[in-house]
Amino acid sequence: MATKFVCAALLAALCGVGSTALSSLPTCLVQDPKPAAPAAPQEQKAQHPQSKDRPAPPPADAPPLKPIEEPYIEPVQRGDLPERYGARDPIEGLYSVRARFIAGQPVPEGKGYMVIGRRHIMVHFEAPGPNPRIPSMRAQVFTWSRADNAGMVRMVGLVGHGNEADGDWVIEEPGTVQMRRFEARQGVLRVHQDGGSWIDFVRVE
């Protein structure tokens, strides 16, 4: 019985001391602290990433750059397309002989072709000669250019050969100059020669 009384007295004493000590402590140590308010987020500066398509701007005191010049392109010459680089002359083409006239009189035309290019003329003729057993033949190559606006053409021989009435062959000397008038009339190209002679050609190509 005595033991229970002693325990009760000690418990009462401890409770009294504890309550007195807690009442003397500061309020901040006795009460639970309030949770701190979250800090306001700092305003982030707007960032503009550098564009990949544009370089960085130069410094303010930098001299201006030189303008970019257009690249120089050398024109490509196409020999297979001559009309792209200049107008063709109206007489250019491939012709065949239609008729021959000597001193204004028709003679057997024989066979023959003439090729007129941009700078060259090639001719080849075969016709009956004064001697029925010896045909008259001629083959020539010229360079040519317009001599005036009236159809006169200047022809300079490069190579040529033909036979005489007796059949002897003659080699023409290179550089020989001939002046011929080319006349286009009613689908025929007439090439005038000396002594009132001419040859009429028709275009094949």
The enclosing domain of 168 has a CATH number of 2.40.128.280
- Which residue range is the domain that position 97 belongs to? 90-203
pTM of the complete model:
0.58
Query: What's the pLDDT score for residue 55?
Result: 75
Q: Phi then psi for 13, rounded to 5 degrees?
A: -65, -40
How many domains are there within the chain? 1
> If we measure between CA atoms, which residue out of 139, 129, 137, 133 comes closest to residue 107?
129
Strands (DSSP E) contained in the chain are: 93-102, 105-107, 111-116, 120-127, 136-146, 152-163, 169-171, 177-185, 188-192, 198-203
- Domain-embedded: residue 59: no
Query: How far apart are the C-alpha atoms of 195 and 163, rounded to whole Å?
Result: 20
Query: What's the pLDDT score for residue 138?
Result: 95
Report whether 179 contacts 193 (CB < 8 A). Answer: no
Query: What's the pLDDT score for residue 28?
Result: 45
> 141-178: buried (b, 16+ CB within 10 Å) or exposed (e) per residue?
bbebeeeeeebebebebbebeeeeeeeeeeebeeeeee
Spans of the chain, pLDDT less than 70: 1-52, 72, 74-86
84-140 confidence digits (pLDDT tens) = 566 789 999 999 999 999 999 999 989 999 999 999 999 999 999 888 889 999 999
- Domain-embedded: residue 60: no
- Domain-embedded: residue 127: yes
- Domain-embedded: residue 79: no
- Domain-embedded: residue 128: yes
- Domain-embedded: residue 27: no
- Domain-embedded: residue 82: no
Report whether 136 contacts 128 (CB < 8 A). Answer: yes
Query: What's the pLDDT score for residue 181?
Result: 96
Q: Phi then psi for 186, rounded to 5 degrees?
A: 50, 50
- Domain-embedded: residue 66: no
Query: How far apart are the C-alpha atoms of 156 and 189, rounded to whole Å?
Result: 20
Residue 20: count of CB within 10 angstroms of its CB: 9
